[in-house]
Structure 1
Amino acid sequence: MPLSQDPSVNETAGALVKTLQGAFGTPAGYPHAKGRLTKGTFTPTSEAASLSTAPHFNNASTPVLVRFSNSTGIHAIPDTDANANPRGMATRFLLSEDGHKHTDIVCHSTAFFPTRTGEGFLQMLGALGSGTIGEFLEKNPSAKAFVEDPKPAPESFATEKYFSVTAFKLIDKSGKERFVRYRITPDAGFSTLSDSNLAAKSKDFLFEELQERLAKGPASFKLLVQVAEEGDVTNDNTKHWPEDRKQVQLGTIKVESIEEEAQSKKEQKRIIFDPIPRVEGVDVSDDPLLDMRAAVYLISGRERRAASSTA
């Protein structure tokens, strides 16, 4: 997983990592936001193979690692804190037995992102730090839409919906390309908590509930894509496609077991999820946020790995 070939992207990504660490008081070696790793299986539909030559869309099944997480870099943030939304779901498809060959889908529980570019997000963080965020939001409608999008706490990580935000290309056997955006929906149904019910929950209720749920059986999700039509914007995550666009189910993600906590913490020191697919049959769109997110994740991940190796 290389850094971007654009030095300006890497410079901005490095500034974002430092700014986020400073904003949340996150030690450089601490693993991501508060989260937990789980294991499971992905089973594709027949439609998946017709849209892409990617191995996980053509094999009978593929092992997956799934990380559920809260927002912010505050590792002890209560699950009940409003700032813990949106929640994250990152899925790694393990394409070789040793796990060295893989591809990832990184989603969070809102279809919105505040800015089109990393530079814009860095400006937003600066406005937060300087107390001028209100002025920034008025000048940047996409950031205002992200802030105002309702983000109720889920009843469970297994009753939440997740979105990739950026567009990707699926490439079929004939070479035909289709722009898509991923969506992940829970088979248990979408369910959130009222403010009063949330207030009665423990600070770790989502992770406790996930462990209890998986002890009884798997939690499953549908992996869907929303398919773009001619004229739909693919280089700007803040421009949503109409809801009447065709949606296709690519398969089912079945989360089967939760990683033991000590092992989960150890593995989270090492794992670096990658927004860039880096696999045949799936490619990036021209959305600039993809390259920026990949650089941010890699810089942060390298810091975690370096801290882990000297611990």
Structure 2
Amino acid sequence: MPLPENEATNKTGKEVIETLKGAFHTPAGFRPAHARGILLKGTWTPTTEAASLSKAYHFNNSVPVTARFSNSTGIPQIPDNDSNASPRGLAVRFNLPNTSDGKRAHTDIVAHSSKFFPVRTGELFLALLQALGSGKAGEFLGEHPSAAAFVGDPKPNPVSFGTLPYFGVSAFTFTSADGKDTNVRYRWVPDAGEQTLSDEDAKARDPAYLHNEIQTRVVDGGVSFKLLVQVAETGDPTNDATVHWPEERKTVELGTLKLDGVVEDNDDAQRKIIFDPIPRIDGVKETDDPLFDMRASIYLQSGKDRRANPYDK
């Protein structure tokens, strides 16, 4: 008898976590992917256009934010200038007013520095990891063009975490105050512009150059991004993160993210925070993309594991 959907999702999610940890020999207390990162704090300020698209609180009000830049892989000390450290990650938490019963409220956006995602379901992602582990990666890539496109996508060496664009690959549905629904995809655009290094220049940098640079940058004036959404038109799929919408689709600027400080007790704070790819807020909801439930399951289980297992010292 097949498992109920949520049980099957959780089972596959746990398999993904264990497979990633095994591949990268990830120690207890660290994420199985994007293990190395830094947590910053700042402010989000929305545009008037954001309010016209969504009634969500943070698209109508300024709120404090917590953001995490990260390197790829589950290797906690992967050098910033290692080619396997890309794509980079950017997860942003919008800290909302407490609920009526006093509980903390928030909603998150999780993105990475590639427009591509290798597969459209969690089960296929597990199959990809298993193919990599068994030496059958070439066969898998040949059978799955989206995975080959992700692997082949250029992954530039950034001057800074603050000089890369970041993309939310899944689609969301915004609901306005008058009840109109709009399907969108997120993208963060750096105000400093996209700035990259050659492979030679990157290899000459310190292994922690990105983590050091971003701390200096926030002290010297901060790092900021514009949040844009690409607006879907009729027929644009919302259930497949591997399919790009045409670039000529309308984009709308939702606001500015300004990061101007480093979170205290950073390692401990990173261990405790669990970002959620599902918005769980009035005015923004997940679409029919099957990655949502799988990613939420993985993030939650990984977070529970981190909280139960302190960093190895």
For normalisation by structure 2, the TM-score amounts to 0.95
- Is the Cα–Cα contact under 8 Å of residues 91 and 105 in structure 1 kept in the other structure? yes
Residue in structure 2 matched with residue 21 of structure 1 by the alignment: 21
Deviation at 1:309, TM superposition (A): 11
Structure 1 segment 33-44 matched on structure 2, within 5 A: 33-44=35-46
Q: Does 1:49 align with 2:39?
A: no
**Matches of 1:63 and 1:5 in 2, distance apart?**
36
Deviation at 1:238, TM superposition (A): 0.5
Deviation at 1:199, TM superposition (A): 1.5
- Percentage of pairs with the same residue: 57
Residue in structure 2 matched with residue 75 of structure 1 by the alignment: 76
Counterparts in 2 of 1:154 and 1:99: CA distance versus 1, 3 Å: farther
SS in 2 for 1:6: helix
Residue in structure 1 matched with residue 223 of structure 2 by the alignment: 219
Residue in structure 1 matched with residue 97 of structure 2 by the alignment: 96
- Is the Cα–Cα contact under 8 Å of residues 21 and 28 in structure 1 kept in the other structure? no
Aligned partner letter, 2:241: N
Deviation at 1:65, TM superposition (A): 0.1
**Matches of 2:123 and 2:23 in 1, distance apart?**
17
The Cα offsets for residues 152-181 of structure 1, whole Å up to 9 and x where unpaired, read as 111101100000000000000111111100
Q: Does 1:6 align with 2:13?
A: no
Q: Does 1:228 align with 2:229?
A: no
Unaligned 5+ runs, structure 1: none
Q: Does 1:197 align with 2:174?
A: no
Residue in structure 2 matched with residue 177 of structure 1 by the alignment: 181
Aligned partner letter, 2:68: R
Q: Please provide the CA RMSD for this pair.
A: 1.7
**Matches of 2:217 and 2:311 in 1, distance apart?**
34
- Is the Cα–Cα contact under 8 Å of residues 28 and 300 in structure 1 kept in the other structure? no
SS in 1 for 2:202: helix
SS in 1 for 2:303: helix
Counterparts in 2 of 1:257 and 1:176: CA distance versus 1, 3 Å: same
Residue in structure 2 matched with residue 251 of structure 1 by the alignment: 255
The Cα offsets for residues 212-242 of structure 1, whole Å up to 9 and x where unpaired, read as 1111111110001000000001100001000
Identify the match of residue 188 of structure 1 among 164, 175, 192: 192
Deviation at 1:30, TM superposition (A): 2.2
- Is the Cα–Cα contact under 8 Å of residues 27 and 311 in structure 2 kept in the other structure? no
Aligned partner letter, 1:247: T
Deviation at 1:189, TM superposition (A): 0.3
SS in 2 for 1:238: coil
Deviation at 1:17, TM superposition (A): 0.5
Deviation at 1:29, TM superposition (A): 2.1
**Matches of 1:189 and 1:99 in 2, distance apart?**
38
Residue in structure 2 matched with residue 141 of structure 1 by the alignment: 145
- Is the Cα–Cα contact under 8 Å of residues 71 and 83 in structure 1 kept in the other structure? yes
**Matches of 2:285 and 2:5 in 1, distance apart?**
17
Counterparts in 2 of 1:270 and 1:202: CA distance versus 1, 3 Å: same
Residue in structure 2 matched with residue 122 of structure 1 by the alignment: 126
**Matches of 2:93 and 2:8 in 1, distance apart?**
28
Deviation at 1:28, TM superposition (A): 3.3
The Cα offsets for residues 253-276 of structure 1, whole Å up to 9 and x where unpaired, read as 00111224xx01011111000000
- Is the Cα–Cα contact under 8 Å of residues 9 and 292 in structure 1 kept in the other structure? yes
**Matches of 2:66 and 2:82 in 1, distance apart?**
26
Counterparts in 2 of 1:188 and 1:99: CA distance versus 1, 3 Å: farther
Residue in structure 1 matched with residue 294 of structure 2 by the alignment: 292
**Matches of 2:301 and 2:66 in 1, distance apart?**
21
- Is the Cα–Cα contact under 8 Å of residues 167 and 179 in structure 1 kept in the other structure? yes
Counterparts in 2 of 1:99 and 1:273: CA distance versus 1, 3 Å: farther
**Matches of 1:30 and 1:235 in 2, distance apart?**
30
Residue in structure 2 matched with residue 153 of structure 1 by the alignment: 157
**Matches of 1:110 and 1:170 in 2, distance apart?**
23
The Cα offsets for residues 171-220 of structure 1, whole Å up to 9 and x where unpaired, read as 00111111100000000000111111112101000011101111111111
**Matches of 1:103 and 1:11 in 2, distance apart?**
25
- Is the Cα–Cα contact under 8 Å of residues 89 and 108 in structure 1 kept in the other structure? yes
Aligned partner letter, 1:15: E
Counterparts in 2 of 1:310 and 1:206: CA distance versus 1, 3 Å: closer
**Matches of 2:281 and 2:21 in 1, distance apart?**
31
